[in-house]
C-alpha cells in the first residue's frame, strides 16, 4: 500500500516532485543557515531588520530604531537590577544576623528600581508605537513582543548561569 505522498508523486510526477524538492531544499537551506550562523542570535537585531524592511519613511524608521536601542538598554538594566537583588538576597540569606527589616529594605529598593524601569520601558514602547502606521504596527507588534520577551529570557538565563 502506498502513502498519500507516494500516491501524489505517482499521479503528478512533475508538480508534486518539484514541490517536494522545493520544500526539502528550503528546509535544508534554513537549517543550514541556523547551523552556520546565517541567522542572528540577537532578537533585537531581528526587530531592527523588520523595521528597516517594513517602514519606508526614513525619519520614522530612525526614530523606531532609536526606541529599540532604548528598550534594549532598559532590558539590560532591568536584568542587572534583578541580578543584583538576587545576589544581595543570597548574602542576606547566608548572613546569620539578617533581620526581617533587612529583607524588607532590599525588596522595597528592588521594587522601586523595577517600577521606575517599567515606567521607562512603557514610555519607550509607546514612543516606538507612536512612529508606526496601523499597517506597520500589525507587522511590528508581534515582532517587538517576540524580540523583547526573547531578549529578556536570554538576559535572565545569563544571570542565572552567573549566579
Domain boundaries, the chain: 4-35, 43-162
Q: What is the pLDDT of residue 157?
A: 81
Model pLDDT for residues 126-163, shown as the tens digit of each residue: 999 999 999 999 999 999 999 999 998 898 888 767 65
Q: What is the pLDDT of residue 41?
A: 82
Nearest residue to 61 (alpha-carbon basis) of 47, 82, 42: 47
CA 26/CA 82 separation, integer angstroms: 41
Average pLDDT on 36-64 reads 87
Average pLDDT on 58-72 reads 97
**CB-based burial, 102-116: b 16+ in 10 Å, e otherwise:** eeeebeeebeebeee
CA 46/CA 52 separation, integer angstroms: 10
Model pLDDT for residues 98-128, shown as the tens digit of each residue: 999 999 999 999 999 999 999 999 999 999 9
Q: What is the pLDDT of residue 162?
A: 67
Model pLDDT for residues 5-40, shown as the tens digit of each residue: 444 445 555 554 554 434 544 444 444 444 444 445
Q: What is the pLDDT of residue 30?
A: 45
Strand boundaries in 94-155, DSSP class E? none
CA 109/CA 114 separation, integer angstroms: 9
Amino acid at each position: 500500500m502506498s502513502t498519500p505522498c507516494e500516491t501524489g508523486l505517482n499521479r503528478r510526477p512533475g508538480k508534486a516532485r518539484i514541490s517536494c524538492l522545493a520544500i526539502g531544499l528550503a528546509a535544508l537551506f534554513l537549517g543550514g543557515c541556523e547551523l552556520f550562523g546565517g541567522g542572528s542570535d540577537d532578537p533585537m537585531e531581528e526587530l531592527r531588520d523588520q523595521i528597516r524592511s517594513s517602514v519606508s519613511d526614513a525619519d520614522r524608521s530612525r526614530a523606531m530604531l532609536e526606541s529599540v536601542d532604548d528598550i534594549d538598554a532598559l532590558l539590560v538594566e532591568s536584568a542587572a537590577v534583578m541580578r543584583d537583588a538576587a545576589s544581595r538576597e543570597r548574602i542576606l540569606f547566608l548572613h546569620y544576623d539578617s533581620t526581617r527589616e533587612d529583607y524588607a529594605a532590599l525588596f522595597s529598593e528592588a521594587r522601586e528600581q523595577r517600577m521606575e524601569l517599567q515606567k521607562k520601558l512603557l514610555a519607550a514602547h509607546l514612543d516606538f508605537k507612536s512612529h508606526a502606521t496601523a499597517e506597520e504596527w500589525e507587522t511590528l507588534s508581534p515582532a517587538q513582543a517576540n524580540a523583547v520577551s526573547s531578549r529578556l529570557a536570554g538576559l535572565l538565563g545569563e544571570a542565572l548561569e552567573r549566579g
